[in-house]
Amino acid sequence: MAEQHHGKFPDSESELRKLPGIGNYTAAAIAAIAFDRRASPVDGNIERVVARLFAVTKPLPAAKPELRELASRLTPDARAGDFAQGMMDLGGTICTPRRPACSLCPLRPCCAAYEAGLAEALPYRDEKKQRPTRRATAFVAIREDGAVLLRERPLRGLLGGMLEVPSSPWVEAETAAKSALKHAPLKAKWRELPGLVEHTFTHFHLELRVLRVETGAKPSPSRTAWPERCLWLSPRDFHVAALPSVMKKVLAHASALAAPSKLRNSASPIPAAPARAKRRSA
């Protein structure tokens, strides 16, 4: 913002999309609602309203471009933000996924799906493809004062710039665990914890084996073997750190299954986030 926009927040969709973390929907929503630009944010509610209004029978997600185009045609030149929020509210309260309240809908007289008796059936959806499963090993290193070793993820890509428990690459191979130790952030006697931490992303399911070690004081900064982009963070600071949900699960899993230690007995233990661990059979 400071370097590229002279401290001024951009107000057009094209410029907003250039900002990290802002996609098409968010850019359109900001432009319309915050700056009253003619823009058409299309969320799930608006997709449903438009699909029914025009009786679009092409299934999602293939129908998304057509629904965005139709929503754009409906968007007025003035008060586009109010229109967008009205469409969202219509989809959230009246034009609902199940049992839409068509008798209360102000758009019923011109709704093609209602006329055709398809209101509750639309929008059609393709059958969801089964998500592939990726596997990896997470390494939870705990310093004698209770601090945990974390690593910053690359700025681009999934969970870009957020903190993570160091891990091996997330791959679909069944043999991922065999070569995992070469990706450990420290040379140590790692202890495998029972169970797996599981997390589902949009396009894949992740299973993490968790290894844990207690280590001494922080190595000297001059030590060349010290892993890059890593830092020690006290559990008391986890609530303000950029930790994604999957990593909170890993830390909670490591804490719950650890033997009594300074970490678990400290004043600020690892928060007990819900870790859906799948126990291995004996």
Residue 277: is its pLDDT beyond 50?
no
Q: What is the pLDDT of residues 71-100, one digit of tens each?
A: 999 999 999 999 999 999 999 999 999 999
Q: What is the pLDDT of residues 193-239, one digit of tens each?
A: 999 999 999 889 999 999 999 987 554 443 334 567 888 888 888 88
Looking up tokens 């207690």, which residue turns up?
Answer: 214
The phi-psi region of residue 36 (left if phi > 0; otherwise alpha if psi is between -120 and 50; otherwise beta) is left
Tell me the CATH number for domain 133-278: 3.90.79.10
Q: List b or e across 24-53, with b for residues whose CB sees 16 or more CB atoms inside 10 angstroms.
A: eeebbbbbbbebebbbbbbeebbbbbbbbb
Residues of the chain with CATH 3.90.79.10: 133-278
pLDDT at position 194: 93
The pair phi, psi for residue 198, each rounded to 5°, is -120, 145
| Secondary structure letter of residue 219 according to DSSP | P
**Band of pLDDT at residue 263, cut at 50, 70 and 90:** very low
Of 72 and 156, which is predicted with more confidence? 72
Residue 265: is its pLDDT beyond 50?
no
Q: What is the pLDDT of residues 103-154, one digit of tens each?
A: 999 999 999 999 999 999 999 888 777 889 999 999 999 988 889 999 998 8
Query: Of the candidates 205, 195, 271, which has an alpha carbon nearest to the alpha carbon of residue 239?
Result: 271
pLDDT at position 217: 59
Q: What is the pLDDT of residues 160-181, one digit of tens each?
A: 889 999 999 999 887 777 888 8
- Please give the single-letter amino acid code of residue 122: L
Instruction: Decide: 267 and 236 in contact? Cβ < 8 Å.
Output: yes
Give the fold, CATH level 3, of 2-116: Endonuclease Iii, domain 2 (1.10.1670)
Give the separation between CA 42 and CA 90, rounded to whole angstroms.
13
Q: Is this model's pTM higher than 0.75 or not? A: no
pLDDT at position 218: 54
pLDDT at position 92: 93
pLDDT at position 282: 36
List Cβ neighbours of 130 (8 Å cut-off, separation of 6 or more): none
Give the separation between CA 80 and CA 38, rounded to whole angstroms.
5
**Alpha-carbon separation of residue 247 from 234, 237, 273 (angstroms):** 15, 14, 10
Residues of the chain with CATH 1.10.1670.10: 2-116
Residue 186: is its pLDDT beyond 80?
yes
pLDDT at position 38: 93
Kindly state the tokens that stand for 50.
């438009």
Give the separation between CA 268 and CA 180, rounded to whole angstroms.
30
